[in-house]
C-alpha cells in the first residue's frame, strides 16, 4: 500500500492524512471501528474535514483515494453520497505513524506546505 501512497497527488495525500486523523480521533473518543471509518457524503467530508476546499475538489480527490484503494465511495447524483476509509488506509497510517499524533500532524503540515508554498 505504500506504493499507492507514493503515486498519490499532494492533494490526495493531504486528504488521506486528514481523514485518517479523523478516524483516529473517533477511535480515541470511543467510537467502534465500524462507525469511525464512515466518512459520509462528499459534502460531509468537505464540511467536516476539508472546509477550505470546494466540493468539486473534495469529490475529485476522493475519487483518487478510491482508485488507490484508500477509500470506498458510493456515487450518486454527480457526487459521492456515502464513503468510508478502507482497512488499507488504516493499516497504512498505523505502519507509517503508529499512534503518534505529533508525527501525523507534522506530515499534514509538510504536505500542506507543498500545496500552498
What is the full per-residue pLDDT of the chain (117 aa) written as tens digits?
457 878 999 899 989 989 998 998 899 899 999 999 999 999 999 999 999 999 999 999 999 999 999 999 999 999 999 999 999 999 888 888 776 667 666 666 676 666 654
* Domains of the chain: residue spans and CATH: 2-115 (1.10.10.10)
pLDDT of residue 70: 96
The DSSP annotation for the chain comes to -HHHHHHS-HHHHHHHHHHHHHHHHHHHTT--HHHHTB---HHHHHHHT-TTS-HHHHHHHHHHHHHHTSEEEEEETTEEEEEEE-HHHHHHHHHHHTT-HHHHHHHHHHHHHHH--
The pTM score is: 0.85
Amino acid at each position: 500500500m505504500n506504493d499507492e501512497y507514493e503515486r498519490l497527488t499532494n492533494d490526495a495525500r493531504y486528504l488521506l492524512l486528514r481523514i485518517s486523523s479523523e478516524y483516529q480521533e473517533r477511535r480515541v473518543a470511543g467510537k467502534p471501528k465500524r462507525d469511525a471509518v464512515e466518512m459520509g457524503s462528499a459534502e460531509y467530508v468537505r464540511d467536516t474535514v476539508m472546509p477550505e476546499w470546494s466540493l468539486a475538489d473534495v469529490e475529485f480527490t476522493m475519487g483518487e483515494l478510491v482508485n488507490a484503494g484508500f477509500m470506498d465511495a458510493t456515487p450518486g447524483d454527480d457526487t459521492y453520497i456515502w464513503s468510508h476509509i478502507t482497512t488499507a488506509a488504516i493499516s497504512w497510517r498505523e505502519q507509517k505513524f503508529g499512534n503518534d499524533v505529533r508525527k501525523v500532524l507534522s506530515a499534514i503540515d509538510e504536505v500542506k506546505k507543498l500545496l500552498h508554498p
